[in-house]
Amino acid sequence: MGPISLSGPTEFDVMKSNELERYLRNDAGLYECREESLIREEVLGRLDEIVKQWVKAISRGKGFDEEFVEEANAKVFTFGSYRLGVHSPGADIDTLCVGPAYVTREEGFFGELYKMLSEMPEEVTELNPVHDAHVPVLKFKFNGVSIDLVYARLSLPVIPEDLDLSQDSILQHVSAGDEQTVRSLNGCRVTDRILKLVPNIQTFRTTLRCIRLWAKHRGVYSNVAGFLGGINWALLVAFICQLYPNALPSLLVSRFFRVYTQWRWPNPVLLCPIKEGLGLQVWDPRRNVRDRYHLMPIITPAYPSMNSSYNVSQSTLCIMLGEFQRGNDICKAMEAENKDFDWGTLFESYAFFDAYKNYLQIDICAGGADDFRKWKGWVESRIRQLTLKVENETGGMLQCHPHPGDFPDKTLPYHSSFFMGLQRTQQVPVKGGEPVHLGRCVDEFKWAVNAYTSRKTGMDIRVSHVKRRDIPNFVFPGGIRRLRTSKATWERRQRSPQPEASGDIAQCQSKTTVLDGTDGGQKRKRQENGDAETDSSSRHPKSVRCNPPINTVVADASISKQAEKLAREPHVPDQVLPKELDELEDDRDQVKDFAGGNMKDSHTMGAIKSNNGAGPSTACSYIGDLEELEFNELKVPYYQTPSEPVAKPIIRVNFITLASGTC
């Protein structure tokens, strides 16, 4: 689709953009210093030297003549946040090594290169090969800089130093069936394609930095947990930049929330048309059954196009829609010059442990540091399956909110905990005493986790139920539980007198160009031909819905059942995903902030589904208050004694065989 508005910035836009830039630089500290940038460049240069030496050593070992050995080459490329230019201090660098046909992944990359790096203890630490990842990766620290290195093997005798990965013809040099190489290449190809498709790279970068920070503080930055990862947020921001090509970051952030609050999922977000060419399968729900069950399609722009957000579930989609609505409300208030709202309000951390009355606590432990790191990564990658199982088992009665990170218990070595908030979906009728049995899905989850092929003695898992009042102190900053903020805080701020900002975006997915609406009496006053506005007066101030309205029914388990089934199936060739889509980004400081921040709003989301016959469609509404769930026959976490049962059940959730293991 074409741009919504070609209007340039106003004085108000310039002022708010300068404020945003100062906040990101000074308050959030998102820009690294020159010294750290130089260290990263030196590390990348050294890594490139090492892989070149590695390939020459392999070619010599295979008996090639010295002339061929001298020409032997490998090359390192970057992708992800570093390549996009939005990485923060201390972030890891996603790197790709491209090697020739005679250097295999298992023997060469995970064999000889791993051995070479392991013999450099002064430079290389925390070396961890991950063979069974969706995109196999070597993880390590090089002179203190975290590196994720993936490998692509091309059917070329020599890798040219000027190799261009952006051309589709590069895929002709991939051996048939080598999907791991296609996925590895796509990390770089997608990143470079995004940079070519945005109208202004600098405004794109500032806007993306803002959205990444917001997503981390609001707890929706994690592809592995079922939310969105770095590449997903980059694609969403790039699309907004295309809709408003002449806008500054402040307006782009505002329109980001406006557009995605009203976007009619599962209509896909596309930066460019999907094209076919070399016989690889692309995302196409008309032909691929698997693609029809994607709830939030965000399509990659490089061939072969694919859905980068296939991990999203009904629960996580509704949580994100609620956060889009909150962001939209705050941006409207800032545009109305309400002094109670500023950029700091947008970035306030979501108090996860105040938001629910009931949680699942997943405790893990291992016998040593190396085993614990591998075990934790495996369990983390499986938690999305628990979300799907609960949605399936309860027929949509419960919504799951997985926390996008773990919390180590420093009093116990090699122990950590994951948490998942539980609540009744809004549209489920209250039937006091109706049992909801989670024992089976929890057992199935533990069985799947314990099937880890590299599991060793001491690697264990325990799942238990905890009430909000019994959340362990080690999840809070400094180990100190804070007093709960009043649930009415956000509502009071929303109801405070402020000028109305009218003019919502209308039908972004329309094939015809839709122009930007007017902003009432605000700084921005535009009236362009063809303007189409939605009637915001008829909407409840806390509602999040698709546009136009749809008939909503209680979500059944069909989508989750199919998603869970497909998630358990072996990977199929049409889902060739870049490495960044499946690796959890290591933003632990952000996760801690997300858990311990003051709660500014206690709204949570309930999931409902409407099916138009072509695929799933989801809309959500705020739940005004939190209900109490009653859990029967529970086993308590390892660190505490049972708490008193709650006297007023709404839904009884029956755990039968939760507690097992030694954690």
The answer to whether 475 and 393 have CB atoms below 8 angstroms apart is no
Write down the residue that tokens 């889509």 correspond to. 581
Residue ending a domain, among 137, 154, 173, is 173
- Among 156, 173, 190, identify where a domain stops: 173
pLDDT at 429: 58
Cα(133)–Cα(166) distance, rounded to whole angstroms?
A: 24
| CA angle 167–283–320, rounded 5-degree value | 110
Specify the pLDDT at position 582: 37
The amino acid at residue 306 is M
Residues contributing to the annotated binding site: 79-81, 92-94, 148, 221
Count of structural domains within the chain: 2
Strand ranges (E), 74-221: 75-79, 93-99, 124-130, 137-142, 145-153
Rounded CA separation 291/575 (Å)? 9
pLDDT recorded at residue 495: 52
Based on its alpha-carbon atoms, the radius of gyration of the chain, rounded to whole angstroms, reads 25
Smallest CA-to-CA distance from 79 within 584, 587, 580, 575 is with: 580
In the annotated binding site for ATP, the residues are 79-81, 92-94, 148, 221
466 located within any domain: yes
Residue located via tokens 């930049």:
241
**Is 422:356 a contact under the CB 8 Å cutoff?**
yes
Q: What is the pLDDT of residue 103?
A: 96
End-to-end alpha carbon distance in the chain: 53
Domain-embedded: residue 372? yes
Is residue 70 domain-resident? Answer: yes
Measured between alpha carbons, how far is 559 from 274 in angstroms, rounded to an integer? 25
What does the pLDDT read at residue 274? 93
**Ramachandran category for residue 640: left, alpha or beta (phi over 0 → left; psi -120 to 50 → alpha):** beta
| Pairing relationship of beta strands 415-424 and 358-365 according to DSSP bridges | antiparallel
Does any domain span residue 82? yes
Q: What integer pLDDT is reported at residue 281 of this predicted model?
A: 86
SS3 569: coil
Q: Strands, DSSP E only, in 182-248?
A: none
The answer to whether 617 and 264 are in contact (CB under 8 A) is: yes
Q: Are 591 and 227 in contact (CB under 8 A)?
A: no
Task: Mark which of 117, 141, 173 sits at the end of a domain.
Answer: 173
Report the CATH number that the domain containing residue 112 is assigned in CATH: 3.30.460.10
Residue 655: per-residue pLDDT: 55
Residue 291, domain member (yes or no):
no
8 assigned to some structural domain: no
Amino acid at site 656: I
Mean pLDDT, consecutive 10-residue stretches, the chain (663 aa), reads 91 96 96 94 97 96 93 96 95 96 95 96 91 88 96 96 93 90 94 97 98 97 94 98 98 98 97 87 92 96 93 95 98 94 96 93 94 91 93 88 94 95 75 70 94 93 94 90 59 49 40 35 39 36 33 39 48 38 35 38 35 44 38 40 41 51 65
- Give the CATH number for residue 645: 3.30.70.590
Quick one: 148 exposed, middle or buried, by C-beta within 10 A (0-12, 13-18, 19+)?
buried
Q: Is residue 562 part of a domain?
A: no
pLDDT at 389: 93
pLDDT at 21: 97
504 vs 519: CA distance, rounded Å: 9
State which residues form the domain around 451. Answer: 352-484+628-654
Q: Are the C-beta atoms of 609 and 397 separated by less than 8 Å? A: no
Give the three-state DSSP class for 559. Answer: helix
pLDDT of residue 374: 87
CB 395 within 8 A of CB 496: no
Give a yes or no: residue 309 inside a domain. Answer: no
Left (φ > 0), alpha (ψ -120 to 50) or beta: where does 144 sit? left
Q: Quote the Cα angle for 138-569-398, to 5°.
A: 100
Please give the annotated binding residues for Mg(2+), written as ranges.
Answer: 92, 94, 148
